[in-house]
Amino acid sequence: MNKKYSPLFESIQFRRGLQLKNRIVMAPMTNFSSDADGFVTDEEVNYYRRRSHGVGMVVTACTNVSANGKGFPGEFAGDRDEIIPSLQKLASAIKEEGSTAILQIFHGGRMCPPELVPNKDIVSANAVPAEQGDEQGPVPRALTGQEVEQIIRDFGETTRRAIEAGFDGVEIHGANGYLIQQFFSPHSNRREDQWGGSLEKRMNFPLAVIDEVKRVVDTQAKNPFIVGYRFSPEEPTLPGITMADTLELVDQLADKELDYLHISLMEFDSAPRRGVEDTRSRLDLVLEKVSNRVPVIGVGSIQTADDALKALETAPLIALGRQLIIDPDWVRKIVEGRESEIDTLLDLEGQDRLVVPNPLWNAIVNSPGWFPGVK
């Protein structure tokens, strides 16, 4: 290996005692490949196994904590105990390849397709539809206070299942417009109870979910088990989350004794839209606010070894998403001194070699511009 890339392979230890062998994380990516009942398929297991041998940590695709939280077709479930053996297959495949296995847990809220939830009863903080381009999504039903409390408990129960299935941790998915973000957003949360209204009250749901997950970990986990949190820094909608809002949330998150924060970005060095008068990147602003209280994972269009090295100058951990689908041997090639051989364009004839399940492959090749090389 070229010595200049050695910083990518330094170990890092989290607050709860778990150590990663390097600074490279597989980002969570939906793959649409579980069966209709939410059980993990062999295709999914093989897909994760193919990508787990080099990275320090794998964060899985999101799994729904409640029956009415399913956000995608082909999503594996985490909302009932019968699913534990299915999750165990996934955790084992990742860990057998030498990586740390993290289960991402979420509730889709108003972003759930009605046909995927019981009685087509989609829910959110308020009865406010999502803006989807020039159109609006279906109108959700506002959750009652009792239902809010139940979903918080559901996050805890799915964390227990992750522990029993042999995962090394969970990542709470508070990003990408799903329910946790819906409670934080002034667009979707217009409540007048303890769960909404002011900026401080809009933080109550995400912080309560974190507290419940940590409680379960503290009482149920016998081995080191880490807790991370993913967030999106801004929303394009008006009203919506601004960079200033997020920095207030990040300040609270950094005091929650989490193992890491994971920022959701399409571009690693993207600048804020609104809320702050600052030309620095969103990630730089977040890191300044965190002030070394918790490690931050940066993500966004990292393709080459040099891209990763540059990103590591800013964030202590970096996540690769699409790049690990394009080249599952990304880490191995750097270790073997073959970084010049890293593929940065998707081989449209390489599905079998890349071990990508049909539903995910079809989604990629039918979405021009999503992946480099797909026109």
Residue from 233, 100, 270, 222 nearest 169 by CA = 100
- The answer to whether 180 touches 106, Cβ cutoff 8 Å, is yes
Alpha-carbon distance 139 to 313, whole Å?
43
The single residue listed with the structure tokens 């062998």 is 21
Question: At 265, phi and psi to the nearest 5?
Answer: -140, 145
User: Which residues fall within 8 angstroms of residue 218, CB to CB, at 6 or more apart?
Assistant: none
- The answer to whether 155 touches 212, Cβ cutoff 8 Å, is yes
Alpha-carbon distance 343 to 328, whole Å?
9
Given the residues 5, 47, 48, 178, the one annotated as active site: 178
Alpha-carbon distance 206 to 212, whole Å?
10
Q: DSSP characters for 147-163?
A: HHHHHHHHHHHHHHHHH
- The answer to whether 38 touches 77, Cβ cutoff 8 Å, is yes
Question: At 53, phi and psi to the nearest 5?
Answer: -75, -20
The single residue listed with the structure tokens 């509730």 is 107
- The answer to whether 56 touches 22, Cβ cutoff 8 Å, is yes
Residue 302: count of CB within 10 angstroms of its CB: 25
Furthest C-alpha separation in the chain: 58
User: Which residues fall within 8 angstroms of residue 76, CB to CB, at 6 or more apart?
Assistant: 34, 38, 39, 40, 44, 61, 63, 83, 86, 87, 90
Alpha-carbon distance 27 to 130, whole Å?
25
Alpha-carbon distance 244 to 275, whole Å?
5
Residue 5 bears catalytic tag: no
Residue from 179, 65, 70, 64 nearest 117 by CA = 70
The residues assigned a catalytic role are: 178
